[in-house]
């Protein structure tokens, strides 16, 4: 079984990184895509992607930063071995005191244009501004990517699917209060479904503490159950989708 954690903040997971990765591999999570959220974290994940087997990188700029992205740096880092996406990027209007709302759209637009230039997918964050995110994505024809940590309803999922985007589910889908989200997960087309942790967030039902990549197997089991397939079939489905969206990940690392 080969599961891919398509969105993890590896530097924030508790414990030594190599131990965290070994634990994940033992559980069946063989690969992770580590997110950059600013210049320093993007540098770090680009370095890990070039040196740690099973680690791939996404370089980006989280909308809750106080300053804009260094697009020149992101462009340089995106060319390094093992970097497969631009992310985490997007919009977030949940906290009026972080990430100036009047600048976020400009930042996101710049990152989307960079992704188009480099022919890389984007890993998109949205919170309390879904219409604005949708409009920004739609304004960039040809852009590919994934809506990460999906918690919205089917109507919104369908709209992003119609733009060609993938939908990724975290441990939130396992929680007893999220029956509607599990229904969405059952309806996403098989060729557009991805799985993630967003560790150290998104802890699934029955686990205690901060999320770890190894625990993504809980999410995979829930997704397999609601879709009426085995976990092994779910893993095969996800791996095929990963290769489609992140073709650089299918290539062997040096």
| Exposure string over 59-82, b if 16+ CB within 10 A, otherwise e | bbbbbbbeeebeeebbeebbeeeb
E strands of 36-131, at which residues? 55-59, 83-92, 122-127
E strands of the chain, at which residues? 3-8, 29-35, 55-59, 83-92, 122-127, 145-147, 166-169, 193-195
Give the pLDDT confidence score for residue 203 in this predicted structure. Answer: 96
Every domain of the chain and the residues it spans: 40-50+60-250
Spatial contact of 137 and 160, defined as CB atoms under 8 Å apart:
yes
Q: How far is it, in rounded angstroms, from Cα 239 to Cα 16?
A: 26
Name the pairing type of β-strands 122-127 and 145-147: parallel
Give the pLDDT confidence score for residue 101 in this predicted structure. Answer: 87
CATH number of 40-50+60-250: 3.40.50.720, 3.20.20.140, 3.40.1180.10, 3.90.1150.10?
Answer: 3.20.20.140
Give the pLDDT confidence score for residue 254 in this predicted structure. Answer: 44
Give the pLDDT confidence score for residue 251 in this predicted structure. Answer: 58
Determine whether 25 is exposed, middle or buried from the number of CB atoms within 10 Å of its CB (0-12, 13-18, 19+). middle
Q: How far is it, in rounded angstroms, from Cα 141 to Cα 36?
A: 24
Q: Which residues, given as ranges, of the chain have pLDDT below 70? A: 97, 251-254
Look up residue 167 and give its two tokens. Answer: 């939908």
């Amino acid at each position: 079984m080969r599961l891919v954690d398509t969105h993890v903040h590896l530097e924030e997971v508790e414990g030594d990184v190599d131990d965290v990765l070994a634990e994940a591999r033992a559980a069946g999570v063989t690969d992770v895509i580590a997110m950059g959220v600013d210049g320093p974290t993007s540098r770090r994940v680009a370095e890990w992607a070039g040196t740690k087997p099973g680690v791939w990188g996404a370089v980006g700029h989280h909308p809750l930063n106080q300053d804009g992205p260094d697009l020149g740096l992101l462009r340089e880092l995106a060319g390094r071995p093992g970097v497969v996406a631009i992310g985490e990027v997007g919009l977030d209007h949940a906290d009026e005191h972080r990430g100036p709302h009047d600048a976020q759209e400009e930042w996101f637009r710049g990152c989307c244009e960079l992704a188009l230039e480099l022919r890389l997918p984007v890993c998109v964050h949205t919170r309390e501004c879904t219409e604005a995110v949708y409009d920004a994505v739609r304004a960039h024809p040809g852009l590919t990517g994934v809506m990460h940590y999906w918690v919205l309803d089917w109507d919104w999922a369908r709209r992003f699917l119609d733009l060609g985007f993938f939908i990724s589910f975290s441990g939130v889908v396992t929680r007893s209060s999220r029956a509607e989200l599990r229904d969405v997960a059952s309806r996403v087309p098989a060729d557009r479904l991805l799985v993630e942790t967003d560790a150290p967030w998104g802890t699934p039902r029955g686990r205690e503490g901060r999320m770890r990549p190894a625990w993504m197997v809980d999410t995979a089991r829930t997704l397999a159950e609601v879709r009426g397939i085995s976990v092994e079939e779910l893993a095969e489905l996800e791996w095929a989708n990963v290769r489609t969206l992140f073709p650089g990940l299918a290539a062997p690392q040096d």
